[in-house]
Amino acid sequence: MEPIKPAAAAEAQHDAALAQLGAGLPLAERLHMQCLLIDLGAEIDTRGVELIVPGKDLSSPTAVQSSRPGTTPLAKVAELIDAFDQPEC
């Protein structure tokens, strides 16, 4: 069992792990990727990223027929995959 960490220490560890993600990306792309992770409620720590997107969020009529491209959970996940698929990450 892992000891309970004070909130400030856990937040600092989260921020450090988030900063490491996509370190090879240009600043604007890295910030965009970090915003996507936050929007999707990703759990981030030194081991990596854990992201769970409920199926209903991926296949609902509003998710498929959004008037603003790139705003659906599925579009955000696709952007993240594309960002992490680059060799310099």
Could you report the per-residue pLDDT of 3-36, keeping only the tens digit for each? 555 566 667 766 777 777 777 888 888 888 888 8
For 14, 48, 88, the CA distances from 84, given in Å and listed in that order, are 19, 12, 9
Domain ranges of the chain: 7-84
User: Residue type for 67, please?
Assistant: S
Could you report the per-residue pLDDT of 38-87, keeping only the tens digit for each? 888 888 877 778 888 877 766 666 545 554 556 788 888 888 888 877 66
What are 66's two structure tokens? 């959004």
